[in-house]
C-alpha cells in the first residue's frame, strides 16, 4: 500500500479520533514521523476539528461575570474598573460522538467496497477462464476439421489411383517370420509413369524413432523406395519412382530409413 492509499484508507481519522487499535496507532505514529504526506494529513484533520470546535463553541452569559466576581469577593456594581484577576476558565468540551459514527460508517463502506471488488474480480477470473477454455475448444475443433479434410482428400486421391486401369496391384501379405502376422499392405504401381503408391492395410504403429521403409526387389537386390509416415486410419502415400521390380517388401528401420533392409524386421512381401 502506498502513502496515498494509506491516507485514503481512513486510518488518519481513526487514529486522531482514538478509534484505531494499538498496533494501528503505533504504525500511524511511525508513518507521521517518516512521511511528510501522512503528517500533513494528520495536521489538516486536527485543524479541521479545531475549526469545527470553535464554530460550535457557546459564549458564556453576561451574568456569569458578576457571579464569578462575587465568588472571589470583588464587587463590580458601580462600573468601575477592578484589578485584573487571573482566572482560568475551562474551554467547553465539544462532543464528537457523531465523528465516531462517521468514521465507523466510512470504515464499513470501505470494507463493503473491498468485498464487492473482490467478488467482481473472482467473477472476472471465472468468465475469463471459461472464455479461454472456449477458445481452446474452438481451436481444437478447427484443427480436427482440417485434419479430417486432409484425410478425406487423401482418400479421394487414393480412390482415383486405385480405379486407374493402368495400375498394377501388388498385394503384400505378412512374411513367415513377420513381427506381426496380421500385417498387410498393397502397392499400386503405375505401369506408364512407374510411380509407386503404397496403401497400408494393417501395420502396427511404430515407436517414435522408427519408420517403415518400402523396398523394391530389382534383379535380386533391394532398392530403397522411400520411408512411410504412418497416420491414423488408412494410409495411402506416394513413394519413389521405380522403373522395374520383381517384388516389393516393407521393413521397420530407424527414423529416416536405412541403406540396406533389416531382414529380421521384415513385415510384408509381395511379388509383382
Q: Where exactly are the structural domains of the chain?
A: 3-76+95-122, 167-271
Q: Quote the pLDDT of residue 91.
A: 47
Q: Angle of helix 36-56 relative to helix 22-34, nearest 10 degrees?
A: 110
For residues 132-159, average pLDDT: 75
Percent of the chain residues past pLDDT 70, beyond the cut? 76
- On whether the CB atoms of residues 148 and 233 are closer than 8 A, the answer is no
119 Cα distance to chain centroid: 18
What's the pLDDT tens digit per position in 215-234? 999 999 999 999 998 876 55
What's the pLDDT tens digit per position in 41-52? 888 888 887 777
What's the pLDDT tens digit per position in 98-115? 666 677 777 778 777 787
Q: Quote the pLDDT of residue 253.
A: 96
Q: Quote the pLDDT of residue 254.
A: 95
Percent of the chain residues past pLDDT 90, beyond the cut? 32
195 class by beta-carbon count within 10 Å (0-12 exposed, 13-18 middle, 19+ buried): middle
> Pairing between strand 235-238 and 247-254?
unpaired
Better pLDDT: 152 or 208:
208
Helix (H/G/I), strand (E/B), else coil: 201: strand
CATH code of 167-271, in short, is 2.60.40
Which of 77-86, 200-209, 231-240 shows the lowest mean pLDDT across its residues?
77-86
Q: Quote the pLDDT of residue 110.
A: 79
93 pLDDT band, cuts 50/70/90, is very low
Q: Quote the pLDDT of residue 85.
A: 46
What's the mean pLDDT when you consider all of the chain? Answer: 81
Amino acid at each position: 500500500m502506498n502513502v496515498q492509499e494509506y491516507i485514503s484508507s481512513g486510518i488518519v481519522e481513526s487514529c486522531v479520533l482514538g478509534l484505531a487499535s494499538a498496533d494501528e496507532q503505533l504504525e500511524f505514529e511511525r508513518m507521521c514521523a517518516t512521511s511528510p504526506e501522512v503528517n500533513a494529513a494528520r495536521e489538516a484533520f486536527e485543524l479541521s476539528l479545531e475549526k469545527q470546535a470553535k464554530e460550535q463553541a457557546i459564549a458564556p452569559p453576561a451574568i456569569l461575570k458578576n457571579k464569578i466576581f462575587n465568588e472571589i469577593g470583588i464587587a463590580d456594581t458601580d462600573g468601575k474598573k477592578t484589578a485584573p484577576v487571573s482566572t482560568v476558565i475551562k474551554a467547553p468540551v465539544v462532543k464528537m460522538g457523531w465523528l465516531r459514527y462517521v468514521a465507523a460508517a466510512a470504515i464499513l463502506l470501505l470494507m463493503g467496497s473491498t468485498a464487492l471488488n473482490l467478488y467482481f474480480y473472482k467473477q472476472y477470473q471465472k468468465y475469463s477462464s471459461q472464455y479461454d477454455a472456449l477458445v481452446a475448444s474452438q481451436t481444437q475443433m478447427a484443427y480436427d476439421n482440417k485434419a479430417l479434410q486432409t484425410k478425406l482428400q487423401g482418400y479421394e486421391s487414393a480412390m482415383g489411383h486405385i480405379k486407374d486401369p493402368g495400375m498394377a496391384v501388388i498385394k503384400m501379405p505378412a512374411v513367415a517370420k513377420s513381427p506381426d502376422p496380421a500385417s498387410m499392405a498393397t502397392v499400386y504401381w503405375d505401369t506408364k509413369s512407374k510411380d509407386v503408391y503404397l496403401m497400408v492395410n494393417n501395420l502396427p504403429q511404430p515407436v517414435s524413432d522408427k519408420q517403415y521403409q518400402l523396398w523394391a526387389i530389382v534383379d535380386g537386390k533391394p532398392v530403397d523406395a522411400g520411408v512411410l509416415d504412418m497416420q491414423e486410419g488408412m494410409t495411402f502415400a506416394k513413394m519413389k519412382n521405380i522403373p522395374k521390380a520383381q517384388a516389393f517388401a516393407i521393413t521397420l528401420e530407424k527414423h529416416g530409413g536405412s541403406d540396406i533392409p533389416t531382414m529380421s524386421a521384415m513385415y510384408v512381401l509381395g511379388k509383382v
